[in-house]
A and B are shown apart, each in its own frame.
Chain A
Amino acid sequence: MYGGLVWSLARRMLRNSDEAEDAVQEIFVEIWRNADRFDETKASETTFIAMLTRRRLIDRIRFSQRRLSPDSLDDVLLEPFTRTDKSMETCVEAEEAAEAMRNLRPEQQQVLRLSIVEGMSHKEIAEATGMPLGTVKTHARRGLLQVRELMGLNTNLQEAKA
């Protein structure tokens, strides 16, 4: 049911099928072990699984110190942002996020896509795009907060800040 989602996220972030296979197996074990932590009032099952998947993938990238090659970087920068409407039907949060992303400035969209979807570090994004590192960090922070706000996921602290 969620195999395709976990596999696709892993393939995209790790960019290596062998490593993605190992990661997916680890992730499913973790999903089974953490099933009791799922809280349907916080997010959908699909989003919960995507969250666990991303946590493990981030750990794996940090552990392996994976770096993109110049060739694969060109591919990354040219890839489109949104997936097809058909595959988005499975999760309301994904639809809301896609809609929210369209409201961001293009450079914010680019930073979030490279960071969240492609698994690139802020430093890698700065090197790839020519943006100063501080600017990348600012786009990541503001972009995430803006998408969160548009998705209606604000907390008390964020509302106080606004």
Chain B
Amino acid sequence: MTDAQKELLYDLLAKQVTEGLTADERKQLDTYDPAIVKAELRALETTAAAIGMASVEIEPMPDHLFSRIAAAAPAVLKEKETAFDGGAPIPSMSRIITADEVFKRKPRTFVFGLLGWVVTAVLLVVLGIQFYATRVSKQPEKAVVALPSPSAPLSATDQRDELLRSAPDLITATWAPGNMKDLQVSGDVVWSDAKQEGFVRLRGLPPNDPATTSYQLWIFDRSQDPETPIDGGVFDVNSNGEVIMPIHASLRTLKPQMFAITLEKAGGVMRSKREKITALAKVETQKS
């Protein structure tokens, strides 16, 4: 490597660890030996992290933020426990990792220090739940959609209408069949990042047996790895007709790109094998 090439490499790496690279700069960096880039980047990221730590006055995390994180922790930790059950990818999501890719990954190497760290995280969760039990949001209970029962659907309809009227950043997506092509599903989903509220409206989903199966909603947003979408809640359908139900996102959701409904075992799962995808909805529009 010439001196000029080295200088450009370090210019690119310095920019990456301080403010990130543009697409063109990323392409330039990709022309270098990946092993060299990885080693150099790691060293410079460590340097930048150390400078950052040396330069901030550590403040305690606010209590309300602590409780929010503690509420989200159990789902993530359980997800990690079951993260290797594989499954086929959802169609047209190119970044989703397939079962083969998952199993080809290196086995995990839990060092003692890390184990202590995870234990600390679990303790944080337990303590958080105890201390903030009155403040953390409860896990959403399974919704039973019982059309044509008049009260619950109307209530959801009214709530949905109110969201349509008031949300400044409404996104919409239209349901289409997933990998169960014989289902003639239709309808839409609406979501507001600002309100952290959304509704599913769906027709053509066949009734399920609540003793053995549940429908489960998944949200693919920009902050999540497509391998681990956000759980949007579980529900049953005990009558044919239009289903309108609120979305119970288990994590804060920002700019969803796609929604999916899978048929799972009763009560839902932490991680779907994606064998029975009953409906998919790709986000099309955003209200400005």
Contact = CB atoms under 8 A, between A and B. Distances in A.
- Name the prevailing secondary structure of the A interface residues: helix
B76 A155 contact: no
Contacts, number: 212
Contact of A122 (B18, B50, B59): B18
B52 interface: yes
A154 B51 contact: no
Nearest to A20: B65
Interface string A1-22: 1011111110110000000011
A35 B77 CA distance: 11
Interface in A32-51: 32-33, 35-36, 38, 40, 42-43, 45-47, 50-51
Contact of A144 (B47, B73, B223): B47
Contact of A50 (B7, B53, B62, B77): B53
B19 A59 contact: no
A21 B36 CA distance: 35
B61 A42 contact: no
B131 interface: no
Interface string B234-250: 00000000000000000
B69 A25 contact: yes
B19 A54 contact: no
Interface string B1-43: 1010011001100110111100000000000000010011011
Nearest to A84: B57
B147 interface: no
A97 B50 contact: yes
Interface stretch (B86-94, B112-120, B165-173, B268-276): B112-120
B133 interface: no
A29 B62 contact: no
Contact of A158 (B19, B40, B65, B251): B40
A108 to B, nearest CB: 11
Given A25-B69, A58-B20, A59-B20, A8 B49 contact: no
A47 B18 CA distance: 16
A94 B18 contact: no
* Interface size, A (range): 35 or more
Contact of B10 (A6, A61, A87, A145): A145
Interface in B204-262: 223, 225, 228, 251-252, 254
Contacts of A28: 69, 72-73
Given A51-B49, A96-B50, A112-B51, A21 B62 contact: yes
Interface of B: 1, 3, 6-7, 10-11, 14-15, 17-20, 36, 39-40, 42-62, 65-66, 68-69, 72-73, 76-77, 79-80, 108-111, 113-114, 117-118, 120-121, 124, 223, 225, 228, 251-252, 254
20 contacts: A4-B59, A9-B52, A45-B114, A54-B17, A88-B54, A91-B53, A93-B49, A94-B53, A97-B53, A117-B51, A122-B18, A140-B14, A140-B18, A141-B11, A148-B43, A148-B46, A151-B46, A154-B43, A155-B40, A157-B6
Interface of A: 1, 3-9, 11-12, 21-22, 24-26, 28-29, 32-33, 35-36, 38, 40, 42-43, 45-47, 50-51, 53-55, 58-59, 61-62, 81-84, 87-88, 90-91, 93-98, 101, 112-113, 115-117, 119-122, 137, 140-141, 144-145, 147-148, 151, 153-158, 161
